[in-house]
Structures are given as structure tokens and as C-alpha cells.
Structure 1
């Protein structure tokens, strides 16, 4: 429950809310930043003490900054649950109206994307429903919505496309409202409002996270998707770096920064997926990349960040200004320590890439054992390929009884000409030929990263409500022991033979010498294989049947994987939400320090996300009994 004195002020203020709002609640400030690079225009419009002083007391109490007095009061008072729609203390329509006025009309009351399919909604329209249904698996559709996420299982599957117009559609696990952010002041107003009113707060950029971190029933969402500014910096200077860099707004997506990098002749470490938000939760969670085998994780590239903290203050975070937060926020997970409005990251020279696709499968001349001998031959070469700086994205599918298919889609050989790539993989090709496995590689050299990436990686297919994923980072040690390699290979073969798909990346992500350390999962530093699998169920499966499938994936399928490398971990952004001991799996030896810093920077527990640092102190009282965000958020 939020502090009664604050909520009382909020409710009493409703008496005066019908009067016109004349006070200016944001001020234009200097563009000077502690990062040594000017603030973006969006960052120069901020909430200030002077702006708050211009409000009447009943209004300002809703938006005051956190401090040692009211922060400690909130921490003591929030002993139960976040304020939820329908509660006595849930803000009235007049209070939401006041917030919207101060936000400049940027507050969006959530309407689920598929509401047009349901006759109970004013948005009901058969043509619109058909269009939404056709585009439902397109990641651009969900990225461009203020509340929708890529994996509706974790929202609670409350309003999916349907041909049954009389079915029920509720807001469910989507945020109740969202702020379409264009300025720092809007983030500060929303952060202060949510903290002072005891409302759940979530942050959404594109909604790519596999575990639904950017959704939550009864929440106020901060939607950073439109913070798209990009500035190239020819010579950036910091404590540990001098050279070219780029400043990106939090809403910049992979295709946007890659286009700009190609235009200006540099390369940048970003995601494989086209619509991933590079400067959002991706980089804050570590962020593996087609360039990781050479340059490390996306979090390793970050030189400075502009951040709104849980107390509503806007700060610049650098290695010099705040080494603890600089360490924690780079890899410690999004929606945890603050809301990032921009990052400054180092960039790299233009690179050429050879991109190759091919496949092979069982058949008349290729038995199952021969097929797996070909796969084993490939896996044995993971250290050599990663050490050469390459990144491979491949699938292995079970297509029937003793029937399998391998898809290389693609092998992404950075800094390799066609001849150099061929020399690297020829020993494997020769061994496949000796096994009687025929392949027809389609290989093309591109003189720049952008064209190679565009050709190599398709648009993501998302929004399945009948599947759940899980993953593991397999360490180099599993290739340095015959017994460990055998157990790794056997575990993966067993998974696929049992009918599960393998989607995997051969890469490494070591911290480059001279780069400042960060809180990214230590397991990434030793990995050679990031492997993902999934389970699925029928669309009419009961919640109990779904949970049984999920539990089997977590405990039995992924249990085999964990057994081969129990001290390793998993990539939090592409993981199993039920991962046992998520603290060790996603954060490793960094967790104790991260947890301590979480209490320091967010003493009122404003920021919550599933499997985030400190999330073990909270639980979602899910409406369906599944591990989703469709329910009240309460302290454990």
C-alpha cells in the first residue's frame, strides 16, 4: 500500500483538478552533460524543483522527487501490494487526467492490439481485426504499440486475435496506461507519480524480452520507443577510452543504428534481430551480437549513459562519476536501476563479412547416426570458429522418427573474405563429404556489415501464445574435456531426438583487454554456445496442461543441459522464466553486489521485472496460475 499521506493528497487534489492547468511543469535546461557530449534535445526538457514549486500543493505532492525522507517512508509503508485497478487508492479519472495534462497529452490508456476482434470493445472492426491477425507474428506490429509485447504468454494471453467476436478481451497483463515518451520530463513525471502513488511501473522499448519484462497488470508503462536521436562523435574521451563513438536514444533499433553506421562508415555492436532496441533492455542485459566474437557484448561498448533514477532525478552515469552504478547498469538488466534515455558507445571500423547458408538432412544415403556425426564434426570446431571472430546462427530440427535437418542460417564470418572463410570451414566441409553428406553452400562476401546483416538475418517471427523458450550458455570448458564434450553433445542430441528444436549461436563474448568491467553474466565470458530450445502445447490446452509442459522443459529438458555445466548460466533476455536459482544463472558471482546496489538506488522498490535483481522479494498473483504478469504485484 502506498503512503496514506501521499495518496490522501492525491485524492484531495481531485477537488481542484477540473480547473485549467496553467503551470509549466518542465523547463528547458542547458545541454551540458557530464559525459562531455551535449544532451539530446529530448533530454534538455526536464522536471525541476522550480517547476514543481509552481504547482499548487495538492498537485505537487503527486510529482515530488524522492528524498531521504519520503523514500524511507515509502519503503516502510509498501508492505503489501502495489496499488491495483479497483482498489480504493487507485487514482481517479481526474488524477489520470491531471497526469496527462502535465505530460502534454502523452498518456495512453491501453487498448489491446487485438481489441478490434471483439464486439465488447468500441474498437471492434472486422477489417482491422483481419489486418492485425495477418500481421500478428510481425515484430514491427508489437514494437509500435505502447503496451504489446512479443511473447503474449507472459502478458496472460488476455486479448489475442480471434474469429469469435463474442469472446472476452481484457487489458489483462498489459500496463493500464503508458506514457509515449518524447522528453526526460515526461519520464520524471511518470516515475515520481508511480512511486508516490504506489503504482507498479514498467518500462517498454520494443517488448522483445522473452519473459515479458515490459508488461504488468495495473502498471503505468514508460514507452521509450520514440527516443530515436543518433549523434556520431568523432573523438570521444573518457577514463579508459579515446576514439570514435555514437550516442543513441533509448528507442533506437538495430536496423536504424546499422543504417546510420553504414552511412558514416563505422561498425557498431548491436543485436542480430532487426527490430531489437539496441539502447534499451538489450544493452542493459548484456546483449550478444554478430560482432561479439571480436568485440564482446553490447554492454562492453558503453562509455556513458543518461538515466532517470527511481527518485526521479536525471543523472549522467560514467566510469568517473558513479563507478558502482556504471558497473551495475551495464549488464545488470533493464527495468532495475533506472530508465536509460541514451547511451554513448564505442564504435569500430567498417568490416567486411562473408555470409553463408546451407542445410543437410537425413535421407536415403544419410542415416541418423551419419547425420549426427556431421553435427558432431561441426561442434568440435566451435572453439576455432569463435576464436576466428565468427558468429554462426543454426537450427537443428526433428522432422520425424530418426529424421533430422540441420540449417545454417547463417554462418556470419566477420573480417573474412570468401577465400578466408572457405579456408576456415574447409576441414568441416571435407569431413562432411567423407561422411557422404552433401551440402551446397550459398556464400556471398559483403564489404560492409550492414549489407551482410540485412541479407543474413530475417525479420523476427514473434507472438506465439503456445510456446515457451529456455536456454543455456555452454562454456569453453565443455570443449576442453572429452567427457564433458561427449556429455554436451549427448544432451543436445537427446533434446532434439525427443522432439524439441535447437536454435543456437556459436560465438564467444570475452571482455576485451582494456575495457572496464561490468555486471554482465560472467558465464558469457567463457561461452562457446548459446543454445535455445522450446516447448509448445495445443491452443486449447488447459492452464494445468500448459504448466506441466513448462515444468518438464525447465526441469527435465534443460536439466540435462545444466548437468553438463552446472556452474555456467543462461542469457537472461532469451531464457526460461522458471530458471531455477535465476540469481546464479543470470548474474553469477555478480548477484550479491547487484542486490546491494539495487537497495541503494531503488530503496522503494519502484522497479520490478520478472527475474530482475531483487525480484525474489515480490510475486505476481497471476490470474491463471502461470508465471505471467497478469495479476497483482505483491511483496513475498
Structure 2
């Protein structure tokens, strides 16, 4: 940000500064600020990054601080800002609990660019100095394809275009989300020819590229005190674009990569090996570390998913869930910056309500997680199987569906054996369909045991005249098996919308309820949907802790995702009309056969009716009360998050709720 080499300013309010050009600032009674490169001198004192390296070396649970956590914002640092006559130090101060600053009027909005209360360029410049130069002004990922941001580059545009569906390009960008529907489909690569301009849309205005806890604290305090919308991005994986937000300040935790193995973690409820992960650690990183250390970790299926971020906050289903439960069930401690700007540790003994809520109560709701300490699991053998079958001259559509229906008979037996399966059913033409198992995943099972488990279904298929040729793999560790059979995610689509349902084991209680369940799923595929599903359970025999994970997970044996394709180049009204079929017609058939069940919030329909029940179940009332306790000023907002029903985004279209408008109170 360019600022004159010498300038004067006057404090105008707690949310803005009046910046006076040097030629107009002749009153020597005003505070003089001299700008020299990347430091500012306020009168005779130098304004440096607002942080201190703390003397303590461990968090509240006794685990070592990560490198990021050793550098914090303290009351003494804030006091120093005031002492050197930075009148707007109040913008960066911790919350004093003054309820008079709450604005709960209907229609009141977060401050937006262009508003009189929006911080001046100079205030953002000072904020950047306090951050140590880690503030980024947002430039959309595909801006190189346009002239709007002044950085057109044909070669860079081609590179972005070629890699747009690759999740790695989005996770490595400060603001890009993996589902562009929610940032407003603006600034798309040139292969999406109908998009002719490049604007911020639903992207945040500024990003803090986090390397220290102090930077998170400064961002939290600044956003709260200036009444700016705040969003948090780790990798941007969420299906509903929760890390997008027009006019927002974003906290990017992607680079918090510390991994520390704790040989003997001791707490009230657990003694044994644990691992502490920075918030930016991704599945491929922790799994590689686990292989090297001779243990396993309950993490995500996707390669680039951030294990300690929104994945865990949403509960986190895993290829090991049928054995060990959800990722959130493994957590021993969470280090977090709370909405008041404080850095705290939450465990079963410390900040217990916060600890309960952070494990499954949703991301961007109760604070910004900096690290997570979780149980490790033993090194294990894994057997995998991949196969497919389809309609053909010998396999009619009726026979095909009979083969799929036969598979449903074994769901509970399979999950009781600790297995996990990722399968899909697609329409390939008129009365033509394909089933793909990619993969059947059998942790702790030998090749022979896996073949025995699959044998009854394969016999059923043979009796129907369906031939399968499974390709088996057997590995002596989790990482090698996982890397071999789970491909890199495909993202970036503007012509696909998904919704999901957690089907309970009770639907398998008898043929009547199971046939009704299967019929509802089959009907939506026949109508044009595509099924991607997981045969998975999350209620291990050894039990699971009390946390905020959706109770529906404890009853499920099928997490099913339904995808709807449409013309992604159409206008928002037309796209929304297409999407409404998914929400109100197809998914209603699934709800009708599982009325008391729910859905996995991280892979669900953003327009899910009664999301409070579907995503949180009986936990919602407690979560809502805790939201009011920990975040009374509603700093954190996320679509379908706890308390989000009290807010709306201006300019939204039903069934296509984007994040490219103001955030205002209902």
C-alpha cells in the first residue's frame, strides 16, 4: 500500500482515521508519523510488528507451543501502541466485554468497502505494519486472464485454466475457493467463455497470511472493533464456500504446518502417543509423517483436505471412521484464538464447553484454531479392492440395479468389520448405468479376510450374470494404501451442485424400509442425478466421546451424496431454478425415507431445509447458547453455521446463495 513518506493524521473515531496530506497538515500540535520503508515512527517511537515472543513454552495441556504460537499479542503490546500515541490502538485491542457496542438492529450490516466507516487506506497500511507485512490485497486467482487488475498474462492465464479443476491450485491461493458457485462465478478462467469480467465478487477484500498467533489475534480484534466481516480459510475445500465473503477480512491459516509427535500424552481420559498439528496441516502431510513415525492418524479421504481446519470442525469422516469414529473423536486438545482475541487451550479440563463445541460444531463459528492435538493409532495393514460393472448386452438395466441392490444387503456387516467404501453410480446413456467401487477399503484386514467379506456379494452378482474383476492391493501401512487408491480431488466446477444425507442403520432393519431407501436413491439417479456414496459408520464398539458431532453420524451406515449437473454458463436465476430440483424434489425423497436423520455439514446442500436439525441434530440448542456466550458480538459467520439464521447476504437468489453481497442482520 503506497503512503506518502511523511504524513499527519487525526483520530476521527474508533473505526476510521482522517488522513491529511502533508501539504494540508501544518498544525504542529498534531501527532507526526514518519514513514520509512516498512516501519513507522510515531513522534519519537518506532511502530513495529505488534507481537511478543512469550516466555512460556507449552500450552495449557502441557504440549509444546508450535512456532506460530510462541509469538502472541498481549495486553502489554496493546498498551505500548497507546503509549506511543497511536490513538487508533483501540482498533487492535482485545474485547473488553462492553455490550454497548453490540448492534442487533434488524437490517444493520457489517461495514462494507465504500462505506464512510470503512477503514482508510492508511489504517490498512498501519494494520499491515503491525502484522509484519503479512496483509495481502486480494487479486482473484484467474485475474491474469483479464485486464481488470492490471496483471494480464496470457501464459499465466493458460496455466490457471489448465489447472483449474486441480485442488492444489486453489489451496495454495490466499482466497480462491474450490466451488466458485459461492463467490459469484466471477473472474473465471477464459475457458468459461461467458464470464467476461473479473471482479472480487465473493472474495474477501484483504487476507492475513498467518505465520504467528499474534497475526490472528490482530485480525480478530481489528475485524471485531471495526465491524468488518471476518472469514477464515485453510484450504477452501468446503462444499458451501464458507471461506468466501465480499468485503471481508480473511485469516489464511494454510501455512501453519508444524507436526510434533508427543510420545506420552497424559490427561484425565487418555494416556498414550499423540500428535500435535498446526491448523494448516493437510492429509497428505500428516499421513506421510505418520508413516515415517510408524503410526496412523484418523484424517480425511481427500489428499489436500486440511485435517485440523474446517474438516475437523465439521466432525471429519475418515477411511478409518468405521474402526475409530470421527476425526473430532480423536482430539485431546485444541489451541484457538477466541472472538475476544485471546489465545486459549481447550481440553476436557480447560474451557470445557469450548472444547465440546469445537469438535463438530462447525468451522468459522467459535474461533480460529491454531493447532490440534489428537490421538494416534497403531500402524496397520490395509487391503483395498477396486472394481466396476455396468449395463451391457448381457446386463440389462433391471439386472444392473439388482446388482446394486444386492450390495446394500451387506452395508452393516461391512462397517461392523471396520471397512469403508467409496462408490458411485452414474448414468451413461439411455437405460445405461455404471457402478464403480473406488475403493473398498479394509483396514486391519488381510487379503484373504477382505476377499471372504466380499464373497457373498460377488456370489450374488454372479448369480445375476454380472461379472466383476476386482483389483486387490495389500499394504503394510495406511499411507501407501491411501495414496494408491484415492485420487486427487476434482474441483472448480460451476455446473455441478451436490447435496447429501446420512442414512441410518434403522433403515436396514427390514426389507420394507431397506427397499424404500434403495428406491428413493435409485429414483433420483433415474431422474438424472449422480450418486457418490460412502458405506461408513462412526460409532465404534469401543465408544466415542461426548462432543458436538452431529448425532446422526452415530446411527449411519451410508453417507450418500447426490450431484446435479446443469448449464453452468446460464444466469443465476436459471441456475437457481435448476438447483431447486435437487433441494426440493430429489433430496426430499431421501428425507422422506429418513425423516429423523441428518446430513454431513461439510458436504451438504447449502439450501438444506432446517439445517439446524440436519447438520447439528439435538446438539443445536446447546451450540446456539454457546455461540451467544463465546461470540456475543457475532464476529464469526459462516453459511449454515450456528447462529447464521440471524444474518443474510444481500442480493442472494434462492437455491443459489452466494457470498458476493453485504452481510446484514435479519
TM-score (norm 1): 0.97
Q: CA deviation at 1:57?
A: 4.4
Q: CA deviation at 1:402?
A: 1.3
Once the two structures are superposed, the pairs formed by residues 563-602 of structure 1 within 5 Å of their partners are 563-602=592-631
Checking the alignment, whether the CA contact within 8 Å between 1:472 and 1:530 is kept in structure 2 is yes
Q: 2:6 is matched with which residue?
A: none
Q: 1:482 is matched with which residue?
A: 511
Q: 2:186 is matched with which residue?
A: 158
Checking the alignment, whether the CA contact within 8 Å between 2:104 and 2:665 is kept in structure 1 is no
Counterparts in 2 of 1:6 and 1:324: CA distance versus 1, 3 Å: farther
Checking the alignment, whether the CA contact within 8 Å between 1:156 and 1:630 is kept in structure 2 is yes
Distance 1:513 1:358 in 2: 32
Counterparts in 2 of 1:60 and 1:77: CA distance versus 1, 3 Å: farther
Distance 2:12 2:577 in 1: 42
Checking the alignment, whether the CA contact within 8 Å between 1:66 and 1:192 is kept in structure 2 is yes
Checking the alignment, whether the CA contact within 8 Å between 2:325 and 2:544 is kept in structure 1 is no
Counterparts in 2 of 1:85 and 1:140: CA distance versus 1, 3 Å: same
Q: 1:219 is matched with which residue?
A: 248
Once the two structures are superposed, the pairs formed by residues 337-348 of structure 1 within 5 Å of their partners are 337-348=366-377
Residue 12 (structure 1) aligned with residue 33 (structure 2):
no
Distance 2:284 2:342 in 1: 31
Q: 1:62 is matched with which residue?
A: 91
Q: 2:658 is matched with which residue?
A: 628
Distance 1:211 1:8 in 2: 36
Residue 416 (structure 1) aligned with residue 421 (structure 2):
no
Checking the alignment, whether the CA contact within 8 Å between 1:271 and 1:290 is kept in structure 2 is yes
- The more displaced of 14-23 and 115-124 is 14-23
Q: 2:59 is matched with which residue?
A: 33
Residue 94 (structure 1) aligned with residue 122 (structure 2):
yes
Distance 1:491 1:515 in 2: 31
Q: 2:28 is matched with which residue?
A: none
Once the two structures are superposed, the pairs formed by residues 322-341 of structure 1 within 5 Å of their partners are 322-341=351-370
Unaligned stretches of 5+ residues in structure 2: 1-9, 21-30
For residue 308 of structure 2, the aligned residue among 279, 290, 296 is 279
Per-residue CA deviations over 1:577-633 (Å, capped at 9, x if unaligned) read 000000000000000000000000000000000000000000001366630111000
Q: 1:386 is matched with which residue?
A: 415
Q: RMSD in angstroms over aligned alpha carbons? A: 1.7
Residue 23 (structure 1) aligned with residue 51 (structure 2):
no
Larger proportion of helix: 1
Distance 2:116 2:320 in 1: 52
Per-residue CA deviations over 1:427-460 (Å, capped at 9, x if unaligned) read 1111111110001100011110000000010000
Distance 2:153 2:472 in 1: 46
Once the two structures are superposed, the pairs formed by residues 354-369 of structure 1 within 5 Å of their partners are 354-369=383-398
- Aligned partner of residue 428 in structure 1, secondary structure: helix
Distance 1:609 1:466 in 2: 23
Distance 1:561 1:85 in 2: 42
Once the two structures are superposed, the pairs formed by residues 118-129 of structure 1 within 5 Å of their partners are 118-129=146-157
Distance 2:397 2:199 in 1: 48
Checking the alignment, whether the CA contact within 8 Å between 2:194 and 2:569 is kept in structure 1 is no
Checking the alignment, whether the CA contact within 8 Å between 1:119 and 1:165 is kept in structure 2 is no
- Aligned partner of residue 113 in structure 1, secondary structure: coil
- Aligned partner of residue 361 in structure 2, secondary structure: coil
- Aligned partner of residue 14 in structure 2, secondary structure: helix
Rg: which structure is higher?
2
Distance 1:266 1:60 in 2: 47
Distance 2:549 2:653 in 1: 33
Per-residue CA deviations over 1:229-256 (Å, capped at 9, x if unaligned) read 0000111011111111000000000000
Distance 2:403 2:100 in 1: 61
- Aligned partner of residue 102 in structure 2, secondary structure: helix
Q: CA deviation at 1:562?
A: 0.5
Counterparts in 2 of 1:7 and 1:517: CA distance versus 1, 3 Å: farther
Distance 2:91 2:143 in 1: 32
- Aligned partner of residue 129 in structure 2, secondary structure: helix
Q: 1:139 is matched with which residue?
A: 167
Checking the alignment, whether the CA contact within 8 Å between 2:138 and 2:175 is kept in structure 1 is yes
Counterparts in 2 of 1:404 and 1:76: CA distance versus 1, 3 Å: closer
Distance 1:548 1:340 in 2: 37
Q: CA deviation at 1:77?
A: 7.5
Q: CA deviation at 1:513?
A: 3.9
Distance 2:271 2:544 in 1: 12
Checking the alignment, whether the CA contact within 8 Å between 2:15 and 2:225 is kept in structure 1 is no
Unaligned stretches of 5+ residues in structure 1: none
Q: CA deviation at 1:167?
A: 2.3
Q: CA deviation at 1:554?
A: 0.2
Q: CA deviation at 1:388?
A: 0.3
Per-residue CA deviations over 1:367-395 (Å, capped at 9, x if unaligned) read 11111111111111000001000000001
Checking the alignment, whether the CA contact within 8 Å between 1:240 and 1:515 is kept in structure 2 is no
Per-residue CA deviations over 1:306-354 (Å, capped at 9, x if unaligned) read 0000000000111101221111110000100000000000010001111
- Aligned partner of residue 207 in structure 1, secondary structure: coil
Q: CA deviation at 1:543?
A: 1.6
Q: 1:116 is matched with which residue?
A: 144
Q: 1:52 is matched with which residue?
A: 78
Checking the alignment, whether the CA contact within 8 Å between 2:208 and 2:215 is kept in structure 1 is yes
Q: CA deviation at 1:512?
A: 5.8
Checking the alignment, whether the CA contact within 8 Å between 1:296 and 1:512 is kept in structure 2 is no
Q: 2:274 is matched with which residue?
A: 245
Question: How many residues are matched?
Answer: 631
Distance 1:623 1:361 in 2: 41
- The more displaced of 47-56 and 268-277 is 47-56
- Aligned partner of residue 427 in structure 1, secondary structure: helix
Checking the alignment, whether the CA contact within 8 Å between 1:13 and 1:59 is kept in structure 2 is no
Once the two structures are superposed, the pairs formed by residues 510-549 of structure 1 within 5 Å of their partners are 510=539, 513=542, 515-549=544-578
Residue 171 (structure 1) aligned with residue 200 (structure 2):
yes
Per-residue CA deviations over 1:39-65 (Å, capped at 9, x if unaligned) read 112101000111111113413111010
Distance 2:608 2:339 in 1: 27
Once the two structures are superposed, the pairs formed by residues 425-464 of structure 1 within 5 Å of their partners are 425-464=454-493
Distance 1:596 1:185 in 2: 28
TM-score (norm 2): 0.93
Q: CA deviation at 1:514?
A: 5.6
Checking the alignment, whether the CA contact within 8 Å between 2:17 and 2:123 is kept in structure 1 is no
Distance 1:311 1:13 in 2: 27
Checking the alignment, whether the CA contact within 8 Å between 2:339 and 2:630 is kept in structure 1 is yes
- Aligned partner of residue 477 in structure 1, secondary structure: helix
- The more displaced of 278-287 and 19-28 is 19-28
Distance 1:6 1:538 in 2: 51
Distance 2:599 2:16 in 1: 45
Once the two structures are superposed, the pairs formed by residues 257-336 of structure 1 within 5 Å of their partners are 257-336=286-365
Distance 2:115 2:361 in 1: 33
